[in-house]
Structure 1
């Protein structure tokens, strides 16, 4: 069902945004949102796994363990409250912009220089107005999320564990953050996105990449990390550990360049700001369209705390839009001493 058909009547217009949400959440286009797809699209990193499961069950009024369009629209429409006028205005705006752009494409090329100037001026003013409203909404959202994290931490003593729990429970929708992208055999070439100071230290970075590549190769081959050592004697059972995260994404061919650009932007924004992320490597398999991201975090807690951040969520939305299916995620805790030895 097309967007235009969804929104022909006023009643449909009020719901067209939810139809669009459903289409984006339904990654495999089977007409239903599974539990994995639900967590992939709706999780905010604050609500717990139990809370998300309870919400999923509440929306699934047909008890099929899947959510269809009617269930999704009915549930959220009945909970709009004070947001109802905003959603109605947004739906009307979507329709108006579509009609305006169609008209602009037909009339602008043949218009006079004055008419073309007016088109550019009006669009610029509209963009400025919408960006101002976006900032208001973003500030409100950031405030609500900050309050939510504070309440969750006060109630449980730690950051909510939905993302980690979902990954461990075969949830394929968790998006994991990283701080830098580096070249390796069969990996993305992204040096052009890095600051000049990093380009100047390319030799040092290349050495780090080679260390990571050796570690990754050993992990994939299920071999010992340190040749000739099958066991180690340690002083304490509760030794410090680091977190290794492995994410698999199947990217739509036409969306690969968009995702690469998003990854570069993400890396540039986080470089130097999140020291808790120790290392990252991205590998692209051209024949299958698969993309694998390896991340090393100094602790499980540091990864969890970063998941709800705006930067992490921005990349998450891009991955949801660009991937053919929900991503799969694997995590592994390793002794931190192993990482320290690999650094030298």
Structure 2
């Protein structure tokens, strides 16, 4: 009833958040399973649990440098004095600690609603204003394994550059569990701003890298979503 009675803006935000939350939850579950398997393997040396490899959907790409909307880095506190080690420190213990730290970071990101709260404010209704739109651009790319390092380095530079553009409301990227598929989300003030961005040196440079590193053509889609509302001139 709440969804059906909500405005178009509220319904869009609800659908968007549910989809992203479902993807993040799936990734979080994979990380939890990997951590549990590692713990069981150390506490029960006689038993072997195959590692469930799989990088989380929300990886380091989420921390694209957007000064006004950067997520807070909240970590789940760990109890001092407790350790999962059964012997001297080794690479397994270091791997386990990395899993736990990454899981804590993912949980902190899931709990952080700063970006979405701000986005909801940008999309909020106002009776005295006229509606304008934001353009959401989604770019899905599958990278060749042998060019993964080159692509990742270029993607980081691209995110930094786009985040600094005045007409880009927000940019972020996620890595799917297969480790080679990336999705970049860009929110632009207008479609014209995005088209101008396509002609920029930053975009053309990244496009050149994609030609050399992708294993298949990228899939780009865009949709206009209810956004900021501009005051209607009176008189």
Please tell me the TM-score bracket, short chain as reference.
Answer: 0.3 to 0.5
TM-score by length of 2: 0.46
Larger Rg: 1
Larger RCO (alpha carbons 8 Å, 6+ apart):
2
